[in-house]
Amino acid sequence: MTTLCPHCGWPDAEAYQVISRRLTRDSSTLSWVRCACGSLQMRQQPRGGDLSVLTRGKPTADMTGLSNGQPELPSH
């Protein structure tokens, strides 16, 4: 997966924070992931298949004032 978050530019392939991960009946992995900007994503990855972002929420903060769309990441 080479897509980026449209809100902050964080790579979708790099989960910032995994909230929940479940294995479905057809052996797909369904997960809720939080992006660096705070938006939630629902993702599905079939067994041996490519990861897909099924839905994406809005960021928790206004990202428009950041340079190049890249947020300063909070420290852990």
pTM of the model: 0.68
The pLDDT of 28-54, averaged and rounded, is 92
- Locate the domains of the chain by residue range: 1-59
The number of CA neighbours under 13 Å toward the Cβ of 52 is: 9
Q: What is the pLDDT of residue 17?
A: 93
The band of 51, judged by pLDDT with boundaries at 50, 70 and 90, is confident
The pLDDT of 32-59, averaged and rounded, is 91
The band of 76, judged by pLDDT with boundaries at 50, 70 and 90, is very low
DSSP H or E run through 52: strand 52-56
Q: Residue 21 in 3-state DSSP?
A: strand
End-to-end CA distance of the chain: 25
The pLDDT of 34-55, averaged and rounded, is 91
